[in-house]
């Protein structure tokens, strides 16, 4: 079944609507966990909070890079609908992640990482839509691995749960991009 047929199937569209609604509820729970009041953090040591801020800022920097990468892909002229719409949607997710991470860093008393003035992406290798999508898939796989590494290092377990939720979103991005490229969406039983 092609992606276009899959995307236009009314039953799938209804399922997607329900999924989006339920995802919004999960994301709202993640937002609440990340933006939990400072009272819960008062019990944590300053060292633990500083470590959490560093981890959050590393994730924030990666999210800002992803936003920039999807912008480059969208402006490349190589993405056609529905792939362009998909890229813009995923960019929106990364913007939401970045906004939430920045607010959380501030709430913890830290200074949020800022976007770079310029990112270096291998745009000279982008000749086709597939090239852009493969690059995006590679970034998403990297994000999955990065979040997988962050979950166990948070001092605050609520932050760990929230990072795991973002990890799930990144994994879905990676799987969908692989599917659109005609590759097995889930290449292995475990993510490493």
Q: Which has more pLDDT, 13 or 135?
A: 135
Q: pLDDT at position 132, please?
A: 98
Flag whether pLDDT at 8 surpasses 50.
no
At the fourth CATH level, which superfamily is domain 3-180?
A: Ferritin, core subunit, four-helix bundle (1.20.1260.10)
Q: pLDDT at position 23, please?
A: 40
Flag whether pLDDT at 38 surpasses 60.
no
Confidence of residue 192 (pLDDT cuts 50, 70, 90): confident
Flag whether pLDDT at 21 surpasses 50.
no
Q: pLDDT at position 59, please?
A: 95
pTM for this entry: 0.77
pLDDT tens string 40-98: 444 456 778 999 999 999 999 999 999 999 999 999 999 999 999 999 999 999 999 99
pLDDT tens string 91-128: 999 999 999 999 999 999 999 999 999 999 999 999 99
Q: pLDDT at position 19, please?
A: 36
Flag whether pLDDT at 5 surpasses 50.
no
**Distance (Å, whole) CA 67 – CA 96:** 10
């Amino acid at each position: 079944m092609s992606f276009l047929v899959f995307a236009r199937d009314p039953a799938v569209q209804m399922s997607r609507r329900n999924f989006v609604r339920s995802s919004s509820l999960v994301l709202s729970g993640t937002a609440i966990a990340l933006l939990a009041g400072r009272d819960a953090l008062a019990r944590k040591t300053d060292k633990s909070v500083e470590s959490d801020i560093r981890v959050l800022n590393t994730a924030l920097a990666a999210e800002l890079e992803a936003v920039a990468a999807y912008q480059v892909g969208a402006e490349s002229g190589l993405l056609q609908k529905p792939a362009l719409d998909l890229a813009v949607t995923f960019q929106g997710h990364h913007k939401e992640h970045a906004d939430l991470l920045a607010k959380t860093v501030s709430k913890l008393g830290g200074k949020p990482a800022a976007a770079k003035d310029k990112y270096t992406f291998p745009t000279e290798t982008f000749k086709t839509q597939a090239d852009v999508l493969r690059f995006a898939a590679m970034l998403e796989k990297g994000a999955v691995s990065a979040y997988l590494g962050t979950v166990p290092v948070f001092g605050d377990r609520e932050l760990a749960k929230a990072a795991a939720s973002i990890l799930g979103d990144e994994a879905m991005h990676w799987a969908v991009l692989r599917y659109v490229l005609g590759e097995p969406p889930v290449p292995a039983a475990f993510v490493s």
